[in-house]
Chain A
Amino acid sequence: MLREVLGSIFKKPATNLYPAQKLEMPDKFRGKLKFYPEKCIGCKMCMRDCPTNAITINKIAENKFEAVFDLSRCIYCAQCVDSCPKKALEPTKDVELAQLDKNKLRVVFSYKEKSR
């Protein structure tokens, strides 16, 4: 033990200096969801399978849909991504989702907005 302990004086600390040093998430990370309104056909399978009712698909016009995510409810299981038959949903690497204002946790992907 003593040797290991003395050795670590000369080692760099194992601590990640977050938030000064940002962490890189792996490629398939299940973070905040992204919605492609132009692909959505409004089958609402995602709504049906969501364990926490975090996602709502609204019909705004014929064949035009918008998605409303309640990030405070979402558990980031990405089941909706699997359930979607048209791949209109996609998980991103975005994990820094903490907000002081509860309203900011409601994310709307409307049809007009160009998917970013």
Chain B
Amino acid sequence: MLGELFYIFIFPGFIFLIIFSLTAEFIDRKIYARLQNRVGPPWFQPWADFIKLLAKEDIVPAESNPKMFKVAPIFALAAAISAFLYIPLWKTDALFSFNGDLIVVLYLLTLPTLAFFIGGWYSTSLYSRIGSVRCMTQLFAYEVPLFMGILSSALLADSWSLKGIAVFYMAHPWFWLFNLAGFSVSLISLLGKLEKVPFDIPEAETEVVAGAFTEYSGRMLAFLRMTLDIELVTGSALLALVFFPFALNVHPALGFVIFMIKILFIVSLIALLRTVVARLRIDQMIDFCWKFLVPLAATQLLLNLMLKGMFLR
């Protein structure tokens, strides 16, 4: 019992996750700054931001629905944290694992977006409402290619559990190389989920101030930002797990370090991607997702089905 609580709350659960996601935010911001030829923030900047926000006053708009407004950030944070518990951090075993946990993780990662929508919508600010509607519109565009990309790899492994996928790729070490198209589709879709450039349309500051987050302040804003950081880590971890399943068969401590490096590699890729592009319009974004990403993901699915038929009988 005590051991389980330790796992959930301290390592590899909440405390570790918070430390790691703030570190990931720092790395993301630092790389972004260095790519732009700036100095960038010091290592404690995400911590300082987080603690400062926690200490600030919570302002609830008089026009809003206070219950929904307050519950949305907690709901989002809870969903994002729970998703991480299903990710195997070393070797192939996660804290919780069952057949189908891949779908659960994807579902839990969708929940924060819904929470942003609800929080933004019930804060009744015009900017928030436009932001939340954009949030939802965008969800329908990037979710399909993201699922198709990730599931194509699972399809090859013939398992809906993260453990099963890891076990398969341990047995067939070089098959992950076939999934690179799926990886790029998923990475780009992940940018949409994380609301980062070029898909930061819901919170485009020059148009709708901060989108769904406009009215949030203090602790609730801290939770929302933490949610995005945890989503960054969890999403990258999921991608690392599904698309880079190599070097799993080593000592647990070494495996853990390698896995962290894989996650941070994906975080750096995200930082690089958002450096070199401009923000798209919502119509262009939907066009891009449905006309380019979905066909690419479908090709990947087809390829994986053929591979399965040819080599894995």
Report the separation of the CA atoms of residues A8 and B36 in the bound assembly, to the nearest whole angstrom.
7
Report the separation of the CA atoms of residues A13 and B33 in the bound assembly, to the nearest whole angstrom.
9
Contact (Cβ within 8 A) B39 A5: no
The contact string, 1 if C-beta is below 8 Å from chain B, for chain A 7-27, is: 011010111010000000000
B15 on the A face (CB < 8 A): no
Contact (Cβ within 8 A) A13 B272: no
Report the separation of the CA atoms of residues A8 and B33 in the bound assembly, to the nearest whole angstrom.
10
Report the separation of the CA atoms of residues A6 and B20 in the bound assembly, to the nearest whole angstrom.
25
**What's the least CB distance linking B283 to chain A, in Å?**
24
Contact (Cβ within 8 A) B37 A11: yes
Contact (Cβ within 8 A) B35 A14: no
Query: What are the residues of chain A within 8 A of B38 when measuring CB–CB?
Result: 13-15
A2 on the B face (CB < 8 A): yes
With A8-B34, A9-B34, A13-B34 in contact, do A1 and B276 touch (Cβ < 8 Å)? yes
* Chain A interface extent, by class: 10 to 19
Query: What are the residues of chain A within 8 A of B35 when measuring CB–CB?
Result: 5-6, 8-9
**What's the least CB distance linking B39 to chain A, in Å?**
4
Query: What are the residues of chain B within 8 A of A13 when measuring CB–CB?
Result: 33-34, 37-40
B275 on the A face (CB < 8 A): yes
Query: What are the residues of chain A within 8 A of B39 when measuring CB–CB?
Result: 13, 15, 17
Query: What are the residues of chain A within 8 A of B34 when measuring CB–CB?
Result: 8-9, 13
Closest to A13 in B: B39
Report the separation of the CA atoms of residues A2 and B275 in the bound assembly, to the nearest whole angstrom.
9
B123-170, CB < 8 A from A: none
Report the separation of the CA atoms of residues A1 and B275 in the bound assembly, to the nearest whole angstrom.
9
Query: What are the residues of chain B within 8 A of A9 when measuring CB–CB?
Result: 34-35
The contact string, 1 if C-beta is below 8 Å from chain A, for chain B 76-95, is: 00000000000000000000
Contact (Cβ within 8 A) B276 A2: yes
Report the separation of the CA atoms of residues A43 and B51 in the bound assembly, to the nearest whole angstrom.
60
Query: What are the residues of chain B within 8 A of A5 when measuring CB–CB?
Result: 35-36, 272, 275-276
Closest to B277 in A: A1
Closest to A12 in B: B37
Query: What are the residues of chain A within 8 A of B275 when measuring CB–CB?
Result: 5
Closest to A8 in B: B37
Which interface residue of B36, B37, B39, B40 has the most chain A CB atoms within 10 A? B37
Query: What are the residues of chain A within 8 A of B33 when measuring CB–CB?
Result: 13
Report the separation of the CA atoms of residues A5 and B272 in the bound assembly, to the nearest whole angstrom.
8
B236-288, CB < 8 A from A: 272, 275-276
B1-48, CB < 8 A from A: 33-40
Closest to A3 in B: B276
Report the separation of the CA atoms of residues A15 and B37 in the bound assembly, to the nearest whole angstrom.
8
User: Known pairs A5-B35, A13-B34. 7 more at Cβ < 8 A?
Assistant: A2-B276, A8-B36, A9-B34, A13-B37, A13-B39, A14-B38, A15-B39
Interface residues of B (CB under 8 A from A): 33-40, 272, 275-276
Some 19 contacts from A to B, beta carbons below 8 A apart, are A1-B276, A2-B276, A5-B36, A5-B272, A5-B275, A6-B35, A6-B272, A8-B34, A8-B36, A8-B37, A9-B35, A11-B37, A13-B33, A13-B34, A13-B38, A13-B39, A13-B40, A14-B38, A17-B39
Across the A-B interface, give the 6 residue pairs with the lowest CB-CB distance, nearest first.
A8-B37, A13-B39, A15-B39, A5-B35, A14-B37, A1-B276
